[in-house]
């Protein structure tokens, strides 16, 4: 479903990828493992369409979305969502504002929006949190809200960039299970980046290791 072909990317005179190939199947939970600095995050940003490599192409659903240094299909047309390592929850918006942001941009009408926000919050187990400010949430709660936001537009592909790295092992385990459960219910393709072997083993239907 997603194919990266012959990707070559250099940054600050260092080669991050050299003729790198990767194929991702629809509906799988692919975990990408690697040391820090090995280019895991860069890989996700390539798939999302924030950046283009110098050489190579990315194909999504038989369409070339990136070729060499040009982005042919912009991020928002790729039906991709992302859970950022720092979560990137906007501090000036409350929980509801964060989750419904994309729906507003897509001019979804109000009742539909509100219903969707409610169901997403229920899904992550944080009903009644709509009006809470981001900085009043605990780390685990922020993680769930970020997850709800990432799922708001029902993406086909969800990219996760070490989303659980800042949680203690108990919370880590709980959220891990929940991510697997959500993926199984909703059926999106998951591309998950981590350096943690155990985490990888528990989530993955397939694992890939990249080396710098």
The answer to whether residue 101 forms part of the interface with another protein (CB under 8 A) is: yes
Rounded distance between C-alpha atoms, residue 70 and residue 54, angstroms: 8
Strands 70-71 and 63-67, how do they pair?
antiparallel
| Interface segment toward another protein; rule CB under 8 A; list 64-72, 103-111, 178-186, 194-202 | 103-111
Among 59, 153, 186, 208, binds another protein (CB under 8 A): 153
Write each residue from 63 to 92 as x if it is in contact with another protein (CB under 8 A), else as -, in one continuous string: -----------xxxx--xxx-xxxxx-xxx
Among 18, 105, 110, 209, binds another protein (CB under 8 A): 105
Rounded distance between C-alpha atoms, residue 124 and residue 99, angstroms: 12
First to last CA, the chain: 25
Q: What's the min distance (Å) between Cβ of 32 and another protein?
A: 18
The answer to whether residue 27 forms part of the interface with another protein (CB under 8 A) is: no
Write each residue from 185 to 204 as x if it is in contact with another protein (CB under 8 A), else as -, in one continuous string: --------------------
The answer to whether residue 148 forms part of the interface with another protein (CB under 8 A) is: no
What would you measure as the largest C-alpha separation in the chain, in angstroms? 51
Q: What's the min distance (Å) between Cβ of 158 and another protein?
A: 10
Q: Which is nearer to another protein, 101 or 196 (CB)?
A: 101
Q: Which is nearer to another protein, 191 or 204 (CB)?
A: 191
Q: Where are the extended beta strands (E) located within 34-156?
A: 55-60, 63-67, 70-71, 80-83
Task: Name the helix (H) or strand (E) containing 25.
Answer: none
Rounded distance between C-alpha atoms, residue 190 and residue 199, angstroms: 14
Q: Please, which residues have CB within 8 angstroms of residue 12's CB and are 6 or more apart in sequence?
A: none
Q: Which of 41, 35, 135 shows the shortest CA–CA distance to 84? A: 41
The answer to whether residue 149 forms part of the interface with another protein (CB under 8 A) is: yes
| Residues contributing to the site for another protein (CB under 8 A) | 45, 48, 50, 74-77, 80-82, 84-88, 90-93, 101-103, 105-106, 135, 149, 152-153
């Amino acid at each position: 479903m997603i194919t990266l072909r012959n990707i070559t990317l250099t940054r600050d005179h260092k080669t991050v990828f050299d003729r790198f190939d990767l194929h991702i199947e629809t509906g799988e939970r692919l975990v990408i493992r690697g040391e820090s600095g090995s280019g895991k995050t860069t890989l996700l940003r390539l798939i999302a369409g924030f950046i283009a490599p110098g050489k190579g192409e990315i194909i999504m659903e038989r369409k070339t979305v990136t070729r060499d240094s040009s982005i042919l299909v912009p991020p928002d047309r790729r039906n991709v969502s992302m859970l950022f390592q720092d979560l990137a929850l906007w501090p000036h918006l409350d929980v509801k504002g964060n989750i419904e942001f994309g729906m507003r941009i897509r001019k979804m009408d109000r009742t539909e929006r509100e219903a969707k926000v409610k169901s997403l919050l229920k899904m992550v187990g944080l009903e009644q949190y709509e009006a809470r400010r981001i900085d009043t949430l605990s780390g685990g709660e922020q993680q769930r809200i970020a997850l709800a936001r990432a799922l708001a537009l029902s993406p086909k592909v969800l990219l996760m960039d070490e989303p659980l790295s800042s949680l203690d092992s108990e919370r880590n385990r709980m959220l891990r299970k929940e991510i697997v459960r959500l993926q199984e219910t909703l059926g999106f393709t998951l591309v998950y980046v981590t350096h943690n072997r155990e985490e990888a083993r528990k989530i993955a239907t397939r694992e890939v290791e990249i080396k710098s």
